[in-house]
Amino acid sequence: MSTQINRQQAAKRSAELAETLRHHEYLYHVKDAPTISDAAFDALFHELKALEEQFPELLNPDSPTQRVGGPPLPGLETVEHTAPMLSLDSSKDETLLRRFDERLRKALSGAKIGYVVEPKLDGAALELVYEEGRLVRGVTRGDGRKGEEVTVNVRTIPSVPLRLRKDPRPVPRLLALRAEVIMLASAFEALNERLIQAGKEPFSNPRNAAAGALRQLDSRIVAQRPLAAYVYDLLAIEGGELTTQWEILTALGDWGLWVNPEPRRMATVEEILAYHQNLEARRDDLGYEIDGIVIKLDDVELRATLGATSHHPRWAYAFKFPPRREVTRILGILASVGRTGRVTPVAIMNPVEIGGVTVSRATLHNREEVARKDVRVGDKVRVERAGDVIPQVVERIDEHSDEHSDDPDRERSEPFQMPETCPSCDTPLVERGPFSICPNTFACPAQLVGRLFHFGSRHALDIEGLGDETATLFVQTGLVKQLPDLFDLTPDQLLPLEGFAAKSATNLAAAIEKAAHVEVARFLFGLGIPEVGTTVARDLARHFGTFVAIRAASEEELTAIDGVGPRMSEEITTFFADSRNAELLDRLLSKMQLIENEPAPASAETEDLLLAGAKVVFTGGLPNFTRQEAKAKIEALGARVVSSVSKKTTYVIVGEDPGSKLAKAQKLGVEVLDEAGFESLVRDR
């Protein structure tokens, strides 16, 4: 390259180089069909980089040179998803799959039903957002509504284009896509080999390796991890319309995204079962981890008719593979105390590899399961990873009838008995059905570690620096004997602890002090009440307004809330009725200030209730509001923002340059509001 090149020449050449490099990245990482050597690619890359260094004004965020990681981030910011990233209803039972098909056909009586079936990838879910074809945001799934922004890390993934291809299909103004970040088996094995050679701990499985890499604060580390991303679904679109799942997959490929080659169109459960069987047989040859298949209704308009629950879409289903199993021997059985006080028998076993993971501990669930399976120390057992994650003992192998037994004359040990008192705090255990429970909820050391960690977790008080190790340290040293003690900690008390320096001690003490002012919903979730997750906690806070009202609510008042059933209401009232919990809560509240809401109106005839449970769709840009501001205003009034227009939609809010959702709303007779109407709607309420 001539050193005398002028800016105009540089601009032209850099644009040519960027386009050429994007094309070759696409061929290499997406199509797996490179047409130039690595050396030739590197030469083009370095030429572009030199031009951008000579003329910094030519550097664009989507330049191929900008994949390389930058300096570490101070932390990851939590942001809201463009549209909810729901989980899937799932099972391994063929009967339940058939029921899914039957329910769907009944709900859509008269409609032509077609499915798209694809592998269920076993990685880390991710939202990718493109504006005008440029990658602007990457967000982890988180709780499905909010996740951590990891854009700088996503930019290092070679198969994720920084700019979408515009040929052969125009790129919409906005695209929010769902992807799965994975590591190919060969890349995972090579990574672990490098770690072992460097004397570092290898990863247990590709999913953990991928998820951990995404959340790294130093993107230079991420750039060294062999991550890939399959894109497989559409969360939101503006400036275009895709009417079927098959068209979505085709469009994703046209735009240069990496799309899995295995999806197929099908019409019957029998076809789906055959696909499931075929894919399971080829599972180990695919080169990446899957744990089942996903069945999706092909027609997007019919999907909108079916809608979704708060957890999963009604138009999709995951049909899982049977878990992987291996045989090993039990060396011992111990009673383990969990965060909620449940005491679980755990088998300690000869280590065995199941699906690429070494397993040495497995759950025996409860005392009735141990007795039913008649599992004892010394027994030979069959172990599986349920959902390919949680190891469990499936059955005992009778060695007297096993022709392959290594010791058919082995004498069996005495049957296992659950302890009468808690192994952690010596409190007498109580029996609730098949489970043994330690009732010493907040003072049992084993429970306290878990509860302390949960209390400070991201969706509860969000105390940065209060991880599992720190929680364990607080309890072991006696600094925290009960949850309220957390708010008495000072930097001077933290400084002598292992791993703490002056700055980290000061920062954690400040984070704890800040967390003493928290919303009711977060506080409620942080208490770890059985059955109360983030969604229920938010619904309770919205309905009752104050923690005092929630604490005093009867089972009847609780079950009147949509999504709260009899079992959940019983768990909540039992928790608050316990005298030990009541005493602890009084102490805790004396050290905290809860940020409370106005309770929802009691009368169903009140005009404000018109937005409680309403479904609102936005389309087009609102000049006076960002999308997040508009969404926050409408959700604060009890409405839910959804991405698709259906007959169940309450309002469609239309801004500048609306998409096809406006025409669909008019066709279905859904009420349409412009920006002035939206402002009036939120102002009047």
CB count in 10 Å sphere of residue 613: 11
Q: What are the backbone angles phi and psi of residue 11, rounded to the nearest 5°? A: -60, -45
CA-to-CA separations, 123 to 181, 183, 318, 517, in angstroms, rounded: 5, 8, 15, 36
Please state, in angstroms and rounded to a whole number, the distance separating the CA atoms of residues 569 and 544: 14
Q: What are the backbone angles phi and psi of residue 306, rounded to the nearest 5°? A: -75, -35
From the list 289, 389, 305, 393, the residue with the least C-alpha distance to 344 is: 393
Q: Is 562 exposed, middle or buried (0-12, 13-18, 19+ CB in 10 A)?
A: exposed
Selecting among 120, 320, 661, 664, the annotated active-site residue is 120
DSSP code string of 563-579:
T--HHHHHHHHHHHH-H
The answer to whether residue 120 is catalytic is yes
Please state, in angstroms and rounded to a whole number, the distance separating the CA atoms of residues 650 and 652: 7
What Rg value do the Cα atoms of the chain yield, rounded?
A: 28
CA-to-CA separations, 522 to 79, 311, 482, 525, 539, in angstroms, rounded: 16, 19, 19, 5, 11
Give the 3-state secondary structure of residue 234. Answer: strand
Buried b (16+ CB within 10 A) or exposed e, 312-323: bbbbbbbbbbeb
Tokens 């995204």 — which residue?
A: 257
Structure tokens given for 679: 């402002």
The answer to whether the peptide bond before residue 168 is cis (omega within 30 degrees of 0) is yes
From the list 259, 269, 242, the residue with the least C-alpha distance to 115 is: 269
Structure tokens given for 286: 């695919």
Contacts of 114 by beta carbon, 8 Å cutoff, 6+ apart: 265, 266, 267, 297, 298, 299
DSSP code string of 253-286:
HHTT----S--EEE-SHHHHHHHHHHHHHTGGGS
Q: What is the DSSP secondary structure assignment for residue 414, as one 8-state letter?
A: P
Amino acid at residue number 427: T
CB count in 10 Å sphere of residue 281: 9
Please state, in angstroms and rounded to a whole number, the distance separating the CA atoms of residues 599 and 589: 20
Please state, in angstroms and rounded to a whole number, the distance separating the CA atoms of residues 672 and 652: 5
Tokens 């197929």 — which residue?
A: 264
- According to DSSP, the residues that pair with 139 across neighbouring strands are 127, 149
**Contact between 668 and 647 (Cβ < 8 Å):** yes
Strand locations in 370-473, DSSP E? 380-386, 390-396, 430-432, 435-437
Strands 316-320 and 90-91 turn out to be parallel
Strand locations in 428-574, DSSP E? 430-432, 435-437, 517-519
**Contact between 378 and 413 (Cβ < 8 Å):** yes
- According to DSSP, the residues that pair with 229 across neighbouring strands are 181
CA-to-CA separations, 569 to 252, 253, 550, in angstroms, rounded: 44, 47, 11
Active-site residues: which are they?
120
